[in-house]
Structure 1
Amino acid sequence: AADDAALLLRTSGTTARPKVVPLTPRGLHAGAVSIGRGIELTEEDVCVNVMPLDHIGGISCSLLASLFAGGSVFCASGFDPAQFVEWLSSLGPTWYYAVPTIHKAVALYAGGLPSG
């Protein structure tokens, strides 16, 4: 049913003790569709997903938002800044989602930030 738990996601415990959060099909769908509409994803969009699929960003922001919009997703098996930059050329993505640590690693690799 739409209100039964479809996925149990463990939080990282950044601000408190880690918890298990039940996510429903209805909630996953609503969140992903909202993200897709908010950034105007279409079937023409291609996402490079460098987020792990045990993270809400990998599941909802990258994977489900793209799929519910009719777009496509390349799911990487991990993150490496050099490989990521190569994928930007070879895969022709129109977007990606990542946490600040990944954005910083890409910028440092590409020479966009001082290393100190």
Structure 2
Amino acid sequence: MSDSYKKTVEQFTEIINARHVNHLDKVLEENVEKSENSKVIYKNIEEAREYYSMEHEAHPSENFLLTQFGEEDQDNHRLTAILSYNKHDYATTYTFSPLGKIQKINSILQEQH
């Protein structure tokens, strides 16, 4: 399953970087939740679309970059990765639904460049 989890996260990143927020339903569950440094950023797919649209407006030349994949926890349907965005690196944990879509994203700021 790790390959499919990695592919899903890569596809998610590609959709965001291509500014195709209307295609997020291909990789995100309807009730997806993202938190960053323990603060909830969005709670569903519509809020996710709004969030990434605002990020693109605020930082039009920035892209999300997956710099490293970590270990997958198959028992808990999780994959970790390091994500770089806007001169910040985030340790990110993706939790997947039984359908293989991303249901929860938890990011913690690791360092600034």
Same fold (TM over 0.5): no
Larger radius of gyration: 1
Pick 1 or 2: higher relative contact order, CA cutoff 8 A, min separation 6: 2
Give the alignment's TM-score, normalised by structure 1: 0.29
Give the alignment's TM-score, normalised by structure 2: 0.30
Which protein is richer in helix relative to its size? 1
